[in-house]
Amino acid sequence: MFGWTGSASGYLGRSLLQVVAVAWMLVSLATQAQPVPINGVYTCVDARGRKLTSDRPIADCADREQQVLNPSGTVRAKVGPTLSAYERSLIEAKERAEQEERARVAEGKRRDRALLMRYPDQSAHDAERSESLGQIGVVRKAAVHRAEELMRRRTALLEEMEFYKKDPSKAPLALRREIEEVTQSLAVQGRFIADQDAEIKRTNARFDEELSRLKQLWASQGGTSGKAR
């Protein structure tokens, strides 16, 4: 009535076969995950100081190195301790940290070599500092000059506004608008000048830091760090 085909025993038989197949697959995967034992005699000293031997890896020495001996007694191979996932993660983290430290040291040496090539002595470093500060100074000077012009223009406009001090609302719209624009431009120039002052401080700090490192490098080379060679 329901389209049922086959017997209950046939259904159970198929289910049993599926369970056996899955179990066999899991056993196969577990076997593949285990390291293949090396033929030979395994020997080690366990945590209690006992010297153990076996024809297969010794479970009591899973936390330490084991030697695999040839029939003649010579060492054929060494098997490291069996590590847990947590222990492996610690070792991998330590290796990554060591790699990063080696990379950091290598990068530091590269920067040191580049500094020495660029600045063979202090006179070269001082010259580049002066040039960098000079470029910023030119830009800052232009900004200060522009701010002074704006200040003079604003003073003139405010003098015109004196005619309307009793009732500023009667001042021409163009005059009031220009005063507002000049005031805004002055604020912009003020911020720009402050930025240049901050850039001068950053530049000096960078050159000071470089010079401190360079003095160490020059001294290590036995060279001079004077104003000229």
Mean pLDDT, residues 169-194 taken together: 96
Residue 33, pLDDT score: 41
Query: Which tens digit of pLDDT belongs to each residue from 10-48?
Result: 544 455 555 445 454 544 444 444 455 678 899 999 989
> What is the C-alpha separation between 7 and 2, in angstroms, rounded?
14
User: Can you give the length of the chain in residues?
Assistant: 229
Cβ within 8 Å of residue 192, ≥6 positions away = 143
The whole model's pTM is what?
0.57
For 83-131, the DSSP string reads PPHHHHHHHHHHHHHHHHHHHHHHHHHHHHHHHHHH-SSHHHHHHHHHH
Report the DSSP beta bridge partners of residue 77. 68
- How is residue 37 annotated by DSSP? P
**pLDDT greater at residue 177 or residue 90:** 177
43 CB burial (10 A radius; 0-12, 13-18, 19+) = middle
Query: Reduced to 3 states, what is the DSSP secondary structure of residue 193?
Result: helix
Task: With beta carbons less than 8 A apart as the criterion, state whether 80 and 65 touch.
Answer: yes
Q: Average pLDDT in the 200-205 region?
A: 98
pLDDT for 102 beyond 60: yes
Q: For the chain, give me the number of helices (H) and strands (E)?
A: 4, 4
pLDDT for residue 83: 75
Q: What is the mean pLDDT of residues 91-109?
A: 94
Arithmetic mean of pLDDT, 129-153 = 97
- Mean pLDDT for the stretch of residues 181-191: 97
pLDDT of residue 228: 44
Give the pLDDT of residue 178: 96
| pLDDT given for residue 15 in this prediction | 55
CA–CA separation, 41 and 200 (whole Å): 74
**How far is the C-alpha of 53 from the C-alpha of 147, rounded, in Å?**
91
Q: Which residues contact 111 (CB under 8 A, 6 or more apart)?
A: none
Alpha-carbon gap, residue 225 to 220, rounded angstroms: 11
Q: Which helix (H) or strand (E) holds 57?
A: none
| pLDDT the model gives residue 106 | 96
Q: Are strands 51-54 and 41-45 parallel, antiparallel or unpaired?
A: antiparallel
Query: For 135, phi and psi rounded to 5 degrees?
Result: -65, -40
The 3-state DSSP class for residue 41 equals strand
pLDDT of residue 108: 95
pLDDT of residue 81: 84
In the chain, what is the straight-line distance between the N-terminal and C-terminal CA atoms, in Å?
A: 108
